[in-house]
Amino acid sequence: MVIAVALILIVIGSVWFHFWSPWWLTPLSSNWSLMDDTLMITFVVTGFVFVVVNLFMAYALIRFRYRADRRAAYEPENKKLELWLTGLTTVGIVIMLAPGLIVLADFVHVPEGASVVEAVGKQWQWKFRFPGKDGILGNTKPRFISNQNPFGLNPDDPNAQDDVLISNSELHLPVDLPIQVLLRSYDVLHDFYVPHFRVKMDAVPGIISSLWFTPTKIGRFDLACAEYCGIGHHTMRGAVFVEDEGSFQNWLNNQPTFAQTIAKQTIGSENSQVRQGRLLAEAKGCLGCHSVDGSPGAGPSWKGLLGKTETLTDGTTVVVDENYIKTSILNPNASVIKGYSPIMPAYQLTDDELNAFIAFTASLSATNNTADNLVSKGKQLAEQQGCLGCHSLDGNASAGPTWKGLFGKTETLADNTTIIADEAYLKEAILNPNATIVAGFAPIMPPYTFSDEELNALIAYTKTIQ
Amino acid sequence: MAHVPYQEALPLHEPKSFWTRYVWSQDHKVIAIQYTLTAVAVGLVALVMSWLMRLQIGFPGSFSFIDPSTYYQLVTMHGMIMVIYLLTAIFLGGFGNFLIPLMVGARDMVFPFVNMLSYWAYLLSVLVLMASFFVPGGPTGAGWTLYPPQAILPGTPGSDSGIVLMLVSLILFIVAATMGGLNYVTTVIQARTYGMTMMRLPLSVWGIFMATILALLAFPALFVGGVMMLFDRLLGSSFFMPAVVSMGKMLDYQGGSPVLFQHIFWFFGHPEVYIVALPAFGIVSDIISTHARKNIFGYRIMVWAIVSIGVLSFIVWAHHMYVSGMNPYFGFFFAITTLIIAVPTAIKVYNWVLTLWQGNIHMTVPMLFAVAFVSTFTIGGITGLFLGNVVIDLPLSDTYFVVAHFHMVMGVSPILVVFGGIYHWFPKITGRMLNDTLGQIHFWLTFLGTYAIYFPMHYLGFIGMPRRYYAYEGYQFIPESAQDLNVFITISALMVGAAQFIFLYNLAWSAFKGKPAGSNPWNATTLEWQTPDTPPSHGNWGDRLPIVYRWAYDYSVPGAEKDFIPQNQPPAGENPGGAATT
Amino acid sequence: MRTRHQSKKTWTPAVGMIDISNHRFSFSLANEKFGLRIFLAVITSLFLLLMISYQIRMKLSDWDSLPFPGLLWINTAVLILSCIGFQWAKIAANQNNITRVKITLLGGGLFTWLFLFGQMLVWKQLNNMGFYLQTNPANSFFYLMTALHGLHLLGGLIVWCKTSIQLFRDKKIGDLSLSIELLTIYWHFLLAVWLVMFTMMQLK
């Protein structure tokens, strides 16, 4: 009667496994405790059936094993018993189904006053969009999607201008506030799934789907894509940070709006304030005496000026900060730098103009802090342009080669030639990817048209990933 | 017109040469073996694929040739082969072809030529599918569900040629299944012998019959979805393709609906799982009954359950789509119908167990497999109740909970029935018994092994571990210990896979050297065991068709001399044909 | 025909053999006729699903209905004529009028070829007007449904060819009356499918 013993052991083993195993639902961090409760009800009802059926069968196998002197009973049917069993089963089904439908009604009705955030899935990363101060998400259309406008926002839609854009797969949310996540996809099916929040929903290109929840615990939660979406499906991860209202607002305010991202791209990498400062410098004739590239002139060069420590004619040292610059514009000869004549006229600029000018100066210093700012610019580009959807930073295989240790590496291309991944190769790989595919990878990378400066930034960033 | 004499008068062509007897055969028994051998062969390919997948999951990165692209191709081909080319083909084309004419008392299927064509169309579909390994880009890696837009867009393996071959292969399979299906249905309805009423049919026939009706009505949906996807891929239409920006480029498609494909696919897909399950239900009823020497408990309600499960299976499909982005209110309807279908299914489980109650049970190898089926199907069906309830499905969808569920109900239980059925009917097919010791070893390794693989897997689903992932690094919510469980599952899977070779060896060896079985080694009542020859010759019944006097389950009839009465044994005091003995 | 309650307790002791010729659940029908009817159920499932998908897709925003070339009406008439041909052939076969069978059977088939040719002309016309398959889902559906319908007719034409050749070779009707009857049923069915689809595509 080994089989009967096996069944009994299986029942005991399964029950024991359930209580012993460390693998259970991730700790609930949202409002959907009723989902867990419904699951437990189902577990109890079905667990009971599982135990009873198996044990009953085991008993029958032992008690009614073959004996030559016995005959089996002859019982074609037993209407009464069958009716009872049907009835009990139906009751069990109702016990499981009813709570499920009630909670479903909850899920289908998004609460009044829930805030809204959009999650966009794209092979193989997540982007997010908040509606901004006007509380309305702007219109999008696939034909607006471009390197410059990765969210595909309609530039003519006034509601879109203040939408806050997050491109690095990391979403922040305020705790204890219900949030409706509107889901959109560029290309294929994806699915927004945070195990701790319980709910998930597919992002389908062509429609907008949604789910809602209220995060109840502060912390960092994994976001995983839960609808197979191609060879990068397993790397399409993100994170949701739930924090208190203050920290959340802080974070939100530091993210660029659509308007800002557009402006930043209109002229090279200048934003409008820097542009204003530069125009001012040109219009007022400053460049007649002050160079921007370090070459000597009647006045000190502006290259790397901001933050520098200078000695004045009276021997004191000063750090060239915002205040100093403002004073030297409004009242130049009060604090001339040693080695220069006091010939600069005073300029009466408005506060706004002064700030713009300082922004311009800062940009000169910034671009000349080659190392740090170029790298951070490269990092920003990599996140916004979606490179990290296919290229990992931690050495793991993905849709494209990992960037870890990439720079200077010797690689074999698909056509069996060997190359060294130097600057020239990397630039070519970005501008014309499918001509330079590394062996073992599919030729699916789209070409990117970056400026020289952007290419340098990306390469600088790549170099730092060892 | 008197019907059975009409059937009996139909000409039966005797094959003459080796080729018409064993290759271009129109004999249902030969066709059944052809189907079974082909299905097993292609199933072994899929089995090896499952090892490779498990090796990657259990020991990530250890095999450099299993890159993400290859992995997803394995996932897809393993799934499609197992569901369609193995399970469906073996239950309908294998068991259906062999058993139906014998169990209803016919000489062969009613359209033997079409039946033969059906096998060759099936073989062709398998060859086309295998061809996809050799085209540029390799086979499709879109998942067996082949969802658009990914199935035909770059970023998914095989989106160029592999998907085209897959769809063509499926279309060929559907043609084959239709040709076979017409045979099975017509034979059951029209070609039953004298006295074989529908309610005297063994449940094996009811199961396969109902499954065939489902196949005939549901496969057109797969056909429609497949053709439309082919149009989208090859002709640029937009049935399923919305405006997309793929790999940085905006494509020409617009306005199509990916969710429409899912509706069409699952309208086929859900009945498909019952196409696999219903024959298993029927066969296991007969095995339990025979080896427990007891009539099946509640025969009428078992028939009613098979029919109602079949009918209901057409209105539950969107329980595969709760998170698809479809209208959320649909969830209410489909959750209700899904949980309703659980009722007749549960009744069947009770009835199997109640058949054992007060039986006189021989623990033969077929019986072991039947008992294992009841146990594993119970748990598999139970986890379906979790997933059928929308709000429990939300956290569990697309996790390993689903993988564990469908392997239990599709991969473990029905396969146990396939094994049990082969051990049970092998003596009739070959005239020899399969080796019992090897059978026992095969059984225990398979039963305990598959339990070890799939029971703990549910708990990986509870954690939230997503399915169809090549690797799990970088996810903080997955504890380290989950990887240990993955290793355990992988090792169990490899062991279970290896155990199947014991079975194959047993099949090959016993076909020639097995103990001679006689015509009815299990003392069973059903007609197939009452043939004049074993293995049955062409035409099955010799000069005269059998005459049926009783239902299929006269085991342990009170007052009878033996503990079974064959269906074609006349009542005491009557000669065959109805004349009195005196 | 004696009716019998299906779920009678069939385990009650048998009172002798039951000849199921009178039994409710089998049909006094040639196997092929029964089988064909089952096949027609399968084809119905196929076209029903297509038409439902059509209805669903039609609701989405980018639907732009096709212009209807007048040729389609002519094609419909031609198909009706071919059905008349087959029906007449069936009657003639029952009367054993072999000459008439030959003429009408050939007629039925030839009109069908004409229909298929006409359908391809319609496709060409639409293409020339710029209504390509991929331009719009309404177009895609039109091409798909007419193609599948045409393919089913083609399948029937293969059987028609075989039957016609045999008729001319054997010079007698004999067993062929069953084939002719099956062909007739099949043609009427596909005509019905065409009429339903055609009407559906006209309704906006």
Over range B134-156, report the average pLDDT. Answer: 94
Residue C61 lies in a domain: no
Claim to verify: residue A98 and residue A212 sit in the same structural domain: no
Residue C8 lies in a domain: no
Q: How confident is the model at residue C23 (pLDDT cuts 50, 70, 90)?
A: low
Residue C100 lies in a domain: yes
Q: How confident is the model at residue C203 (pLDDT cuts 50, 70, 90)?
A: confident
Phi, psi of A347 (to 5 degrees): -120, 130
CATH code for the domain of A423: 1.10.760.10
- Whether the Cβ atoms of residue C120 and residue C199 lie closer than 8 Å to each other: no
CA distance A338 to A354: 24
CA distance B372 to B366: 10
Claim to verify: residue A259 and residue A281 sit in the same structural domain: no
Claim to verify: residue A162 and residue A229 sit in the same structural domain: yes
Count structural domains, chain A.
4
Residue B66 lies in a domain: yes
* Domain termination site, one of A351, A368, A385: A368
Query: Best residue in A31, A75, A450 to probe B by mutation, most B CBs within 10 Å?
Result: A75
Residue A72 lies in a domain: no
Residue A292 lies in a domain: yes
**The pLDDT of residue A399 is above 60:** yes
Residue A187 lies in a domain: yes
Report CA Rg, chain C. 22
Residue B458 lies in a domain: no
* 3-state DSSP assignment of residue C162: helix
Residue with tokens 């996540």: A181
Residue C90 lies in a domain: yes
Q: What is the pLDDT of residue B573?
A: 65
Claim to verify: residue A258 and residue A119 sit in the same structural domain: yes
Q: How confident is the model at residue A362 (pLDDT cuts 50, 70, 90)?
A: confident
Residue B523 lies in a domain: yes
Over range A405-415, report the average pLDDT. Answer: 85
Query: Best residue in A16, A227, A450 to probe B by mutation, most B CBs within 10 Å?
Result: A227
Give partners of A (≥3 CB pairs < 8 A).
B, C
ipTM of this complex: 0.92
H or E segment and range at residue A117: strand A115-122
Residue A44 lies in a domain: yes
Partner-chain contact C57 B257, CB within 8 Å:
yes
Q: Which residues in chain A are contacts of B555 at CB distance < 8 A?
A: 72, 74
In which domain, by residue range, is C82 found?
Answer: 71-202
Nearest to A250 by CA among A167, A164, A182, A176: A164
- Whether the Cβ atoms of residue A393 and residue A125 lie closer than 8 Å to each other: no
CA distance B345 to B375: 14
Claim to verify: residue A288 and residue A360 sit in the same structural domain: yes
Residue B190 lies in a domain: yes
* Domain termination site, one of B158, B173, B201: B201
Residue A177 lies in a domain: yes
Nearest to A114 by CA among A162, A193, A177: A177
H or E segment and range at residue B340: helix B330-356
Residue with tokens 């600088």: A460
CA distance A393 to A232: 14
Claim to verify: residue A121 and residue A251 sit in the same structural domain: yes
Nearest to B102 by CA among B568, B576, B577, B578: B568
Residue B397 lies in a domain: no
Chain A, nearest residue to C62 by Cα: A206
Claim to verify: residue A120 and residue A200 sit in the same structural domain: yes
Asked if C25 has any chain A CB less than 8 Å from its own CB, the reply is no
Residue B417 lies in a domain: no
Q: Which residues in chain A are contacts of C11 at CB distance < 8 A?
A: 76
Count structural domains, chain C.
1
Range from A6-15, C18-27, C167-176 carrying the lowest mean pLDDT:
C18-27
Asked if C31 has any chain B CB less than 8 Å from its own CB, the reply is yes
CA distance B52 to B73: 11
Nearest to C16 by CA among B557, B578, B313, A55: B578
Range from A105-119, A155-169, B306-320 carrying the lowest mean pLDDT:
A155-169
CATH code for the domain of A144: 2.60.40.420
Q: Which residues in chain C are contacts of A77 at CB distance < 8 A?
A: 9
Q: Which residues of A170-182 are buried (b: 16+ CB within 10 A; e: fewer)?
A: bbbbbbeebbebb
Over range B319-335, report the average pLDDT. Answer: 95
Q: What is the pLDDT of residue C8?
A: 65
Q: How confident is the model at residue A306 (pLDDT cuts 50, 70, 90)?
A: confident
Claim to verify: residue A347 and residue A407 sit in the same structural domain: no
H or E segment and range at residue A192: strand A190-193
In which domain, by residue range, is B188 found?
Answer: 25-201
Q: What is the pLDDT of residues B427-448, one digit of tens each?
A: 999 999 999 999 999 999 999 9
- Separation in Å, CA of A66 to nearest CA in chain B: 5
Residue C108 lies in a domain: yes
- Whether the Cβ atoms of residue B96 and residue B180 lie closer than 8 Å to each other: yes
Residue C80 lies in a domain: yes
Count structural domains, chain B.
2
* Domain termination site, one of B156, B183, B201: B201
Residue C41 lies in a domain: no
* Domain termination site, one of A202, A234, A264: A264
∠ CA A144-A148-A154, nearest 5°, is 30
Nearest to B94 by CA among B12, B176, B167, B170: B176
Q: What is the pLDDT of residue B277?
A: 97
Range from A19-28, A286-295, B454-463, C178-187 carrying the lowest mean pLDDT:
A286-295
Query: Best residue in B7, B183, B227, B237 to probe C by mutation, most C CBs within 10 Å?
Result: B237
In which domain, by residue range, is A10 found?
Answer: 2-65+78-108
Residue A71 lies in a domain: no
Residue C15 lies in a domain: no
Return the number of other C-beta atoms located less than 10 Å from residue B501's C-beta.
12
Residue A398 lies in a domain: yes
Q: How confident is the model at residue B495 (pLDDT cuts 50, 70, 90)?
A: very high
CA distance A395 to B473: 11
Residue B326 lies in a domain: no
Claim to verify: residue A252 and residue A142 sit in the same structural domain: yes
Q: What is the 3-state secondary structure (H, E, C) of C90-151?
A: HHHHHCCCHHHHHHHHHHHHHHHHHHHHHHHHHHHHHHHCCCCCCCCHHHHHHHHHHHHHHH
**The pLDDT of residue A224 is above 50:** yes
CATH code for the domain of C78: 1.20.120.80
**The pLDDT of residue A414 is above 90:** no
* Domain termination site, one of A323, A345, A368: A368
**The pLDDT of residue A67 is above 70:** yes
Q: What is the pLDDT of residues B543-582, one digit of tens each?
A: 889 999 999 999 999 988 899 999 999 887 666 655 554 4
Chain C, nearest residue to B216 by Cα: C42
Residue B445 lies in a domain: no
Claim to verify: residue A123 and residue A234 sit in the same structural domain: yes
